[in-house]
Structure 1
Amino acid sequence: MIRRYAVALGAMLALAPQVASNALAQTADYSEDYLSSDYAGSDYSGDYAAADYTLPSEGRVVLGHGRLTTNDLIGDGNDRWQTGSVISSRVVGRGGWIGALPDRPFDILEYRLGGQVMAPDDMRNPSVGDRPWAGALSFGVHTHFMRGPVEVAMGGDLVVTGKQNGLSAFQTAVHDLIGVQPASKSVLDNQVSNGVHPTLVLEAGNTMALGSGGVLRPFAEARAGAETLVRAGADLTFGSVGQGELMVRDPVTGQRYRAVSNPLAGFSYVMGGDLSYVNDSVYLPASSGVDMKNTRSRLRAGLHWQGERNAAFYGLTWMSKEFEAQDSGQLVGSMRVDIKF
């Protein structure tokens, strides 16, 4: 039975088709009304700051969905360290999406579900000082709004660690299914222990148009909980995909994925990077013998494509060492495929 679930979930993550429902079409209409508005084809920077977001009297409606699947097998081809993650978002708001954020918190809410697996380099017989196996399942609520020219995202997640979340059993079933040797019993018995870790997240960014279709967005982020850190970086975008959309940051790679979409056909090329100072991490406990590094860096690039009905994204992220015994950084790949029938 577990193997059947593994096959089903693997297929869903690789080609998660989206079927547009009538309800979603009514609540997040990007048809001719949007394309003829002032937001269509405009730059990011003026849209958010100048928008007049009027709240109608009706309740919340679904504005969009987003997701991103990350794995090192579609990056450097290895199966170690930050080995795989999935993030999924469902966005609701008061009234339809008008291509800009509101100026009040909680008018837009993002319900977020995530899963993350971290493993030693050798999952059968790890070296001394390598990271312990760790699985994290998270459930969160976040809000997105403007404060003057600054885009703010804030919220919280409950992060569940240890065997209780079922991720170690799931990874073992997937490895058995595809003929890859799973983690040994001793590695899984010594995984990061059971726990529930409330985690607060705050990000502030400022989008600036550069001309020739380029957009620069410097940002700062703080996290407190499962990992406590501060981070600063920037993202650069060239192209039409993403204009007038709500983009959400993947916590593992920093790649930004589309959570509320504006289906203007075209491409966008993205790149970015950030630096972090990490105070502590439940995934790298000193009691396991691992020596955590306090600084981390990430460099990323990717390509968004939007067709008339279908869309796709593929990106690569280089991540620096997270602990002293890690002999190098790693390269992970991220992807999303949207197919509408």
Structure 2
Amino acid sequence: MGRIASFIMAVALGASPAVAQDTAERGYLGVGRLFVNDLIGDGEDRWRTGSYVASFIWGPEWQHELPQGFGDLLELRVSGEIIQPSNLTTVSPTDRPYAGALTFGAHTHFQRGSNEFRAGADLVVIGPQTHLDDFQSSIHDALGMVSPSAAVLGNQIGNSFRPQVSLEYGRLVEFGAGRVRPFVEMQAGAESYARVGFDLTFGSVGLGDMMVRDSVTGHRYRALRHSDPGTSFVIGADMAKVFDSVYLPESRGYTLTDTRDRVRAGVHWQGEKHSVFYGVTWLGKEFVGQSDSQVVGAINLNIEF
């Protein structure tokens, strides 16, 4: 029981438990997290309003780079996201419907030379059955904010279970004090799309770390942290062709935009024991008739003992 309690405490506080000592053995290596909310972005409360993701990593001892074997390094990912219309009181036929989604997935990360790959499968649980609408209402009530009305929640995307598969390929290229990583990504599931983009980093933080991409913002957060103290600045952008989305169903009259664009920037700071990441992402319009783009903020705080 003591070892279990220590493990739970380490995960809750963001600490990285000791890695597996034998490279032939698979063990728990660490966890990465990212919290996203538009209130720490443009200050609004709309559309891609909030999400949280945690990535638990298993594998042999981390060697400061991805292994070459498919399946050697595993990421178990758990995330929750709330998507909402811009008006939480009144249903508008020109705005998107409310939606809550919980995602549970397993992904493997590996490389061949400078070529990096991620492949995974998820189960996306959607609708009132997630109780994310109850969670948001409780938080909004506690903070004195407007909660979703019965009409808005009655119009939300209904209960369903959606299997999902995805693949990402990236290539890391270093130059001077920086490095750029162009990538392509494909997904079929709750949202099906093909995406192309890049991530540009200046600084030492992130070198030797395992980086995982957030699905909402596109930011790459640190799942395994082994960088020396310092600061890194990141810039990125991508463009996706979305073929279908359970959150914007054609049966309800929604038409997806020709492309879905994202532009992001952020800073990683690593101290002797603690680290912080903050970033912002501009999200382009996702459906025809969306009144504006939005800016969401992303934050991660790690405290290690």
Task: Indicate whether the TM-score tops 0.5.
Answer: yes
Distance (Å, rounded) in 2 between the aligned partners of 1:170 and 1:160: 15
Distance 1:65 1:325, change over 3 A: same
Structure 2 residue matching 1:104: 3-state secondary structure: coil
Equivalent residue letter for 2:100: G
Equivalent residue letter for 2:106: V
Equivalent residue letter for 2:194: V
Contact 1:107–1:143 (CA under 8 A) maintained in structure 2: yes
Identity %: 49
Q: What is the 5 A alignment of 1:246-265?
A: 246-265=210-229
The correspondence for 2:31, drawn from 60, 65, 70, is 65
Contact 1:132–1:288 (CA under 8 A) maintained in structure 2: no
Contact 1:80–1:119 (CA under 8 A) maintained in structure 2: yes
Tell me, which stretches of 5 or more residues in structure 2 are unaligned? 1-11
Output one character per residue of 1:225-250: Cα deviation in whole Å (capped at 9) or x when no partner.
Answer: 00000000000000010001110000
1:191 paired to 2:184 = no
Distance (Å, rounded) in 2 between the aligned partners of 1:169 and 1:315: 28
CA drift at 1:170? 0.7
CA drift at 1:186? 1.1
Equivalent residue letter for 2:238: D
Distance (Å, rounded) in 2 between the aligned partners of 1:134 and 1:18: 29
The correspondence for 1:84, drawn from 32, 50, 70, is 50
Distance (Å, rounded) in 2 between the aligned partners of 1:134 and 1:307: 38
Distance 1:26 1:204, change over 3 A: closer
Equivalent residue letter for 2:253: G
Contact 2:74–2:108 (CA under 8 A) maintained in structure 1: yes
Equivalent residue letter for 1:223: Q
Q: Which residue of 1 aligns with 2:9?
A: none
Compare 72-81 and 147-156 and name the one that shifted more.
147-156
CA drift at 1:26? 4.7
The correspondence for 2:41, drawn from 75, 79, 93, is 75
Q: What is the 5 A alignment of 1:84-233?
A: 84-93=50-59, 95-211=60-176, 213-233=177-197
Distance (Å, rounded) in 2 between the aligned partners of 1:64 and 1:19: 8
Query: What value does the CA root-mean-square deviation take over the aligned residues?
Result: 1.5
Distance 1:162 1:17, change over 3 A: same
Tell me, which stretches of 5 or more residues in structure 1 are unaligned? 1-15, 29-54
Equivalent residue letter for 1:77: G
CA drift at 1:62? 1.4
Equivalent residue letter for 1:143: T
Distance (Å, rounded) in 1 between the aligned partners of 2:243 and 2:24: 44
Q: What is the 5 A alignment of 1:43-58?
A: 56-58=23-25
Q: Which residue of 2 aligns with 1:5?
A: none
Distance (Å, rounded) in 2 between the aligned partners of 1:316 and 1:324: 24
Count, aligned residues = 295
CA drift at 1:301? 0.2
Contact 2:262–2:282 (CA under 8 A) maintained in structure 1: yes
Equivalent residue letter for 2:162: H
Distance (Å, rounded) in 1 between the aligned partners of 2:193 and 2:265: 23
Q: Which residue of 2 aligns with 1:18?
A: 14
* Structure having the larger proportion of residues in strand: 2
Distance (Å, rounded) in 1 between the aligned partners of 2:173 and 2:103: 32
Distance (Å, rounded) in 2 between the aligned partners of 1:221 and 1:107: 21
Distance (Å, rounded) in 2 between the aligned partners of 1:82 and 1:210: 35
Distance (Å, rounded) in 2 between the aligned partners of 1:56 and 1:71: 38
Distance (Å, rounded) in 1 between the aligned partners of 2:244 and 2:19: 45
Output one character per residue of 1:277-298: Cα deviation in whole Å (capped at 9) or x when no partner.
Answer: 0000001012333332231100
Distance 1:275 1:138, change over 3 A: same
Structure 1 residue matching 2:179: 3-state secondary structure: strand
Q: What is the 5 A alignment of 1:315-330?
A: 315-330=279-294
Output one character per residue of 1:242-272: Cα deviation in whole Å (capped at 9) or x when no partner.
Answer: 0011100000000000001114100000000
Contact 1:263–1:308 (CA under 8 A) maintained in structure 2: no
Distance (Å, rounded) in 2 between the aligned partners of 1:252 and 1:19: 25
